[in-house]
Structure 1
């Protein structure tokens, strides 16, 4: 893990029901341990969202900010956890896409893991970029103009992507390094 301090940094995690449990909770824990403030942002009025833990429903996580109240300018980076249900719902939400585009457009790090890059496709951020993802998204990313690579972490400009829960330590470390730079 990177030893840089993220004191004073604020990170947005956009998620909804069906996020892969470890892909939200573990990066959140590691980023907070590095000193960052992490806000879970979700569409709708729910005060909690429910994770998916490998093959069944997992634990709930508190929502810190409603999507309608989220301000891209307050955040230094964005994390998009995977799972299948979560990004499949988020990628068709125009308000989610607007927030993703605003943070990415400001040159801030945007980190997506597993199926999270689906949202990057719909936000129009992948063309000409080198990315990775869960293997089943390879063709979606290639069709959208990305150059897909089977690596633990791929960083291209401000986009940081990883494949799966096993990659979380390297994924989070890459984000911490990008924020500390």
Structure 2
């Protein structure tokens, strides 16, 4: 995957705690390996505390920028890693939801995995889309006007923007490859 993204800046939006460690690390490293520049964006300046299967990890991650300070036109794409706690916090945060809406309005690709797809539900951007996610989000996705697909990874270019969704952490290798392909 060397230099496939060619220096594009990619936003990783997470809450101050609760992002799934493997989903953040795998997607982050894939962007770097493809020549992209990942930037960690959160709703608080404190270092992000990830979780591993719900247990806080010892490693923390420095925040590059606050969600309210980000200028969408400076970035090529948005990644929403999962982790139920992180996703729930972002779903309740007006700045995070505005950021998602702005990426969609700009027609930029968005990649979300597992519980991260729930953020798109609350941002109100899923109407007409076909997505996969953590199965517990199925009814919310349908209520938001989208079709839930029981797939490991789903591409959906409908409605003028590319959405790449992944079902669970188990599907990370396929999700990562699909995400990088969509970001080229």
RMSD: 1.2
Work out the CA distance in 1 between the residues paired with 2:100 and 2:163: 11
Tell me the residue number matched to 1:111: 111
SS of residue in 2 equivalent to 1:151: coil
Tell me the residue number matched to 2:48: 49
Tell me the residue number matched to 1:14: 13
Tell me the residue number matched to 1:33: 33
Offset from partner CA, 1:73-125 (integer Å, 9 cap, x none)? 11100000111100101011111111111111111110010001111011111
The TM-score with structure 1 as length reference comes to: 0.94
SS of residue in 1 equivalent to 2:115: coil
Give every structure 1 segment of 4 or more consecutive aligned residues whose post-TM-superposition deviation is greater than 2 Å: none
Tell me the residue number matched to 1:175: 179
1:22, 1:165 within 8 Å by CA — same for their partners in 2? Answer: yes
1:160, 1:174 within 8 Å by CA — same for their partners in 2? Answer: yes
Work out the CA distance in 2 between the residues paired with 1:14 and 1:8: 19
Work out the CA distance in 1 between the residues paired with 2:141 and 2:3: 32
Tell me the residue number matched to 2:95: 95
The TM-score with structure 2 as length reference comes to: 0.92
2:2, 2:35 within 8 Å by CA — same for their partners in 1? Answer: no
In structure 2, the gaps of 5 or more residues are: none
2:30, 2:180 within 8 Å by CA — same for their partners in 1? Answer: no
Question: Are residues 1:23 and 2:34 paired?
Answer: no
**Alpha-carbon shift at residue 169 of structure 1 (Å):** 1.6
Aligned residues: 178
Structure 1 residues 71 and 161, CA, compared in 2 at 3 Å: closer, same or farther? Answer: same
